[in-house]
Structure 1
Amino acid sequence: MSSPRFLLGFLLFIACLLNLISVNSDGKQTALFVFGDSVYDPGNNNYLNISIQDKAVYWPYGETFFGFPTGRFCDGRIIPDFIAMDAKLPLWKPYLEPGSQQFTNGANFAASGAGVLPETNPGLINLRLQLSFFKKVASQLRQELGEEEGKKMLMEAVYLFSIGGNDITYFAGNYPNATESEQEQFLQVVIGNLTEVIKEIYEMGGRKLAFQNVGPMGCLPLAKQVNGISGDECVESLSEMARQLNNALLKAAQVLENQLEGFKYSVFDYYTSLYDIIKNPSKYGFQVADVACCGYGSNNASHCGIEPYYVCNNPSEYVFFDGAHPCESANILFAELLWNGEPEITKPYNMKQLFELDSDYPSGTLYSIMNRGQTGGSLINFPTL
C-alpha cells in the first residue's frame, strides 16, 4: 500500500465525515443505535485483546472506499454506513474507540463474532454486553440533555439489529448430531434472549426497532469451503437453521407489536435478498458469487489479508469480499432494500418509514407487566445436550 493512496483515502474519509456532520447540524436528527455482529461492525473489535482473525485491521480491508483498514469486514462501507448516510447521520466510529464521543446521533455497538448468547464465541462482545454499552450511553444522554429530553430522544430513535448467524455456527459446530427438536429448542432460546434485550430497550424508551435477518449461512463461501462444497450447492443444514431462526424472529416481532404499546418494527429479509444474488449474480451486475475476492483455499474464503492469500483486482465483480462478508457493491444493494424496500422484502415498515414515524409517550408500560419476572436482564439458558 503506497503512502499517497493511504493519505488520499484518509482525507476522503475525513471529508465525508465533515460533510455528513455539517448536513446533520442544520436540524435535529433522529438517532440510530446499531447492534450486531461482523456484518455491522465498524471496528469495535479493534480495541479488544483478541486474535487478529477476529479483526479487520489489515490490508486489503477498506481498500475500495477508505483506502486503509478501519475494522470493517469489507473492502469499503458496510450496510449501517449507507443507512446512516440515508438518515443524514455521520459515518460510524466504533463505540469502543478511545476518547470522548457525542452520542446524540446514536452509536454502533456491533462487533465481529458477536452472538445473542454469551456462550457463542466467549470473550467477544455478545448482545447482552452491547446492551450494557447502550445503557451507559442512554444514561449519559439523560445527564447531558436532561431526563425528559433524553427520554424523548431515546423514544424517537431507531434501533437496528443484525445478529444470530454466529449462534447458528456455534450450535452446528458443537452439536453436529443434534436432533431437529434440539435445534428448534436452541433457536427458541436464541429468540427468547433476543426478545429479552428488545424488552429492556423498550422499557428504556425504544419504540422503533429494525432487524436484518440471518442470511443463507450454508451458501457463504466459507461454509462451502469448510464443507468441501463447490458450484451452486449449499450446506442445507445451516441454511435451514437460518430460515427457522428468521421465521421465529418475525413471529416474535409480531407478538411484541401486540404486547408493547407503541412498538413498531421492520424486518429486512436479508436471507432472500442475498440468496437471489448468489443464485443469479449477473442479474445484479456481479460475475462471481461462490468464491470470495480476498482469501485462501478452494473458495478463497479464509484468512483474507493474512498470508498466504489472494485478492481480486476488482471487488465490484464479486458478491463476497471475504468468506462471509459482502463487498461494498453488494452492501449498497442491501442498504437500499433495507431503507426503501417494498413490503415483500422489508416489512411492515422499511427503515425510511421508521425514521419518519413519530413515537408518542405511552399511557402505560409493558402490556406483559404480569410477566415482569421474566424480563429485566434474565438469561434464558440452553440445556447441555
Structure 2
Amino acid sequence: MVGPSLPHGGLWPTRISTKTCLPDLILATISLPLYLIGLPLSYSFDFNYQAVFNFGDSNSDTGGLIAGVGEHLYPPYGQTYFKNPSGRFCNGRLNIDFLMDSMDMPFLNPYMDAIGVPSFKKGCNFTVASSSILPATTSSVSPFSFAIQVAQFVRLKARVLEILKKDEKQICRFFTIDPKTLVPLTVQKLYDEGARNFWIHNTGPLGCLRQNIAKFGTDPSKLDELGCVPTHNQASKLLNLQLHALCTKLRLQYTDANVTFIDIFTMKSNLIANYSKYGFKQPLEICCGYGGPPLNYDSRIACGQTQILNGNSANITECSDNTEYVNWDRIHYTDAANLHVSSQILTGKFSDPPFADKMPFPVKINF
C-alpha cells in the first residue's frame, strides 16, 4: 500500500442496464474514497438499488485480506457487533456496513471468500486491506492492487452477463471504491465499463492517525490544537485540494457522468475537535492498544496480539467502553465513530454538489 490504511470509507448506489454493461461505482484514493453512484444528471436520488460493488483497502474490507492471503485477526476484533473477528479491521462495523444498512441491504461478502457459500446476489466486495493504487511489490502486504480488484470485477461482470445474456431487463447496481484508488486512467477504465456516477471521498486528517502522532509528534510543542501532526494534516489538505480539482476536471471530461465530492476531512476533524459533543471521551487514544495514555499505542504490538516486551509478556486488551473512543487501533476507527461518520455522510451537507434537500428518506441506521 502507499502508506498506512486510512479510516475512511463509504459508498453509494448506481443504476445501469446489462445493455450498457456496467453500474456506477464509488472510488477512493490514498485516503480518499471515490464512489460511483446512480444519479441522473439532475442529481435526483433513487435508492432502489439491487446490488453494490466495493473496491478499496482496510477501511471497507469485510474479509478480503483474511480470505485472500490467509491473514488472521484475533479478538477483540469484531467483538462489539459480530461477537467474533469478522475480517474487518474494527471492533464492529465499517462505514460501508452502515451505508448498506441505511439502504436496507445486507452486508457485502468478500469476493475472495468461498467459505459458507457467500451470496453475491446483492453485490460483492473486492476490497482487500493494505491494497494500493500502484502494483504490489515483494514487500506489499496485499498483492491485490486497485487494478487487480477492477480486473476481478470485470471478470465477474463478464461471467454474470454470460449467464444472463438473454436477460435484457435493467439491473440496478451500486459500485464503490474505497481509499487509495483514484487515478485518471483507472477512472477511464471504469467509465469505459459503463460507470457514470462517481461518489468521491477526500482524505481525512492524516496527522491525527495514532501511528503518525507516535512517530512524528514526539515533541508536544509542535502538535496542533487537536494534538495532531500539523505537517501531515497540511499534506492532507493539499491532497484534497488537488482531488477537488480533479473532480471538476472529471465533470468537464465526462459530461454525461455525475461526480460528487464528499468532504471526509471536515467531518473527521470536527469529530476530533468536538468529540465530547458527540458523546466520545477519547478523541486520539486507542481503545485496543498498549502503553496507556496519551495514545495507548506501541508500534511493537498490535491489537489482539501477545508479545514479549522488555522481558515481560504484554497482552493487548480492549478498553472498558469502546463507545467512548474514536480510535479502535493505530489507524482504524471504532464502530461508534464509523456510525457517526456514516450519519454525517448521509446528511448530504458535506458534499459538492450538496444533496441534503434531496434525501428520499430520513437517515436511518440500525444499531
> One fold, TM greater than 0.5?
yes
Q: C-alpha distance in 2, partners of 1:234/1:28? A: 41
Larger RCO, structures 1/2 (Cα 8 Å, 6+ apart): 2
Q: C-alpha distance in 2, partners of 1:47/1:355? A: 37
Aligned-residue offset at 1:339: 2.6
More helix by share: 1
The CA RMSD measured in Å over matched residues stands at: 2.8
Aligned-residue offset at 1:336: 1.8
Q: C-alpha distance in 2, partners of 1:135/1:147? A: 19
Q: 1:258 aligns with which of 227, 252, 271?
A: 252
- Residue by residue over 1:270-323, the C-alpha shift from the partner in whole angstroms, topping out at 9 and shown as x without a partner, is 111111111221011100011110012462235011123232011000001111
Amino acid at match of 2:197: K
1:138 aligns with 2:157: yes
Aligned-residue offset at 1:353: 6.1
- Residue by residue over 1:22-55, the C-alpha shift from the partner in whole angstroms, topping out at 9 and shown as x without a partner, is xxxxx973422211111111110002336x5xx5
1:215 aligns with 2:231: no
Amino acid at match of 2:151: S
- TM-score scaled by structure 1? 0.69
Match of 2:5 in 1: none
Percent identity, aligned pairs only, is: 28
1:311 aligns with 2:318: yes
1:205 aligns with 2:212: no
Match of 1:112 in 2: 129
- Residue by residue over 1:129-173, the C-alpha shift from the partner in whole angstroms, topping out at 9 and shown as x without a partner, is 1111111121122123327748x53xx533323313xxxxxxxxx
Aligned-residue offset at 1:253: 1.8
1:36·1:110 contact (CA, 8 Å) conserved in 2?
yes
Amino acid at match of 1:44: G
Match of 1:371 in 2: none
Amino acid at match of 1:108: N
Match of 1:247 in 2: 241
Q: C-alpha distance in 2, partners of 1:262/1:148? A: 26
Amino acid at match of 1:107: C
2:109·2:120 contact (CA, 8 Å) conserved in 1?
no
Amino acid at match of 2:92: G
Match of 1:300 in 2: 296
The size of the alignment, in residue pairs, is 294
1:328 aligns with 2:345: no
Amino acid at match of 1:69: P
Residue 285 of structure 2 aligns to a residue whose secondary structure is: coil
2:201·2:263 contact (CA, 8 Å) conserved in 1?
yes
Structure 2 gap segments, 5+ residues each = 1-46, 307-314, 362-367
1:36·1:127 contact (CA, 8 Å) conserved in 2?
yes
Q: 2:353 aligns with which of 348, 355, 360?
A: 348
Amino acid at match of 1:201: L
- TM-score scaled by structure 2? 0.72
Rate the CA distance shift 1:294–1:123 in 2: closer, same or farther, 3 A. Answer: closer
Rate the CA distance shift 1:118–1:290 in 2: closer, same or farther, 3 A. Answer: same
Q: C-alpha distance in 1, partners of 2:168/2:239? A: 37
